[in-house]
Amino acid sequence: MKYYILFDSHTDGLKVESYLKKEGIKYTISPTPRQLSTCCGISIMYDIEDENRIKSIVQDNNLKVKGFYSLERTVKNFYT
């Protein structure tokens, strides 16, 4: 499973990123998977263990997010 935070704008995503960086939370800026949305184009991928902490940061700092989403990703083996 992969976990994503989606945003309405790049600016909102970069603002959340700055708070995660400041708090030492591991994350990856990622293109938004088409299965989830066609929103602004960037999302933040994070570890599920950090979800409650991230949600607290978002709430405490009135940060704008579209939502928290999960997506099961499967890797296809093209050789079988």
The pLDDT, as a whole number, for residue 35 is 85
* pLDDT tens digits along 4-49: 999 999 999 999 999 999 999 999 999 988 888 766 789 999 999 9
Q: What is the DSSP letter of 79?
A: T
Which is more confidently placed, 80 or 71? 71
> pTM of the predicted model, to two decimals?
0.84
> Is 80's pLDDT higher than 60?
no
CA distances to 12, 20, 33 from 45, in Å: 15, 11, 10
> Is 77's pLDDT higher than 80?
no
Q: Selecting from 3.40.250.10, 3.30.70.100, 3.30.70.120, 3.60.15.10, what CATH number does the domain 2-71 have?
A: 3.30.70.120
The pLDDT, as a whole number, for residue 27 is 97
Domain ranges of the chain: 2-71
The SS3 assignment for 11 reads helix
* pLDDT tens digits along 50-67: 999 999 999 999 999 999
Parallel, antiparallel, or unpaired: how do β-strands 42-46 and 2-6 relate?
Answer: antiparallel
